[in-house]
Amino acid sequence: MWPEKQIPIQSSTPENRPPPVERRHSARYYAHRVKESLTTRISKLICAIFLALLILVGIITFILWLSLRPHRPRFHVQEFSMPSLPQESGFKNAQIVYNATVRNANQNIGIYYDSMQLTMYYQDQSIGGSQLLFPFYQKPKNTTVIAGELAGRNLTVTSQRWQEFMTDLADGEVVFRFDITSTIRFKISTWDSKRHVMHANCPVGIGPDGLILPSYKDKRCPVYFV
């Protein structure tokens, strides 16, 4: 048998011991880091809650704005005629008969009409007009009829103008512009808005029989504010 090989046992001397693990930071430093991490998390949570509340308030405000935003009145011309148009000398007793409607399509907003003026145009030149209605209040989801006639001193049609009508009539139609100007205010609950000057421009064409053409009847009129 071979003799056992003896492994020398090294003595644990200070020279042979592994160097101790050196701690780079103190316990106070690590406590501060933990505290800083908690502060950061809380700050992020607060920011997230604030942002969520801000978005919620924005959505609620947008919904309220949509529900309270006033819609413009809607004008439609129902009837329009010039009975004497088929006559060559019809200018002597020229008369325009009209029937229009104005609707307040708002759900919860009323409209005050402080004044209303009708002006009739032909080729962008005024040929007559009159005051319409007395000041009135229109409830939400309500329609008001505006009907009347222009004749005599409220309608200025000369023989020369009548010949222009006849020339247009030979082409199939005579087109007028039915213009309504009104000063209005919106009423939201107990609050009244400032006054707005509103215009409704309604082109209307009449045929050889002196009646409104079907393509113009019940057509919604453009409305704008100035």
Q: Tell me, rounded to whole angstroms, the distance of Cα 81 from its chain centroid.
A: 33
Do 84 and 52 lie in a common domain? Answer: no
Counting beta carbons within 10 angstroms of the beta carbon of residue 16, is it exposed (0 to 12), middle (13 to 18) or buried (19 or more)?
exposed
Answer yes or no: do 136 and 59 share one domain: no
**Domain end call among 69, 84, 106:** 69
- Cross-strand pairs, 106: none
Q: Say whether both 201 and 126 belong to one domain.
A: yes
* Residues 115 and 32 occupy one common structural domain: no
Q: Are residues 50 and 118 in the same domain?
A: no
When divided into structural domains, the chain yields a total of 2
Which tens digits make up the pLDDT trace of 72-95? 999 999 999 999 998 888 888 999
Q: Considering the domain boundaries, does residue 5 fall inside one? A: no
Structural contact between residues 170 and 209, judged by C-beta atoms closer than 8 angstroms: no
172/114 same-domain check: yes
**Does 15 map to a domain?**
no
Question: What local confidence, expressed as pLDDT, does residue 17 receive?
Answer: 60
Same domain for 195 and 98, yes or no, is: yes
Q: Is residue 13 part of a domain?
A: no
Residues 132 and 207 placed together within one structural domain of the fold: yes
pLDDT at 196 over 70: yes
Task: Kindly state whether residue 10 falls inside one of the protein's structural domains.
Answer: no
Q: Which domain holds residue 98?
A: 74-225
Which position has the higher pLDDT, 146 or 49? 146
Through-space distance between the first and last CA atoms of the chain, rounded to whole angstroms: 121
The pTM for the full model equals 0.69
pLDDT(67) > 80: no
User: Are residue 126 and residue 183 in the same domain, yes or no?
Assistant: yes
In a domain, 179, yes or no: yes
Kindly report the average pLDDT of the chain as a whole number. 84
**pLDDT 10s digits, 29-55:** 555 566 667 777 777 778 888 888 888
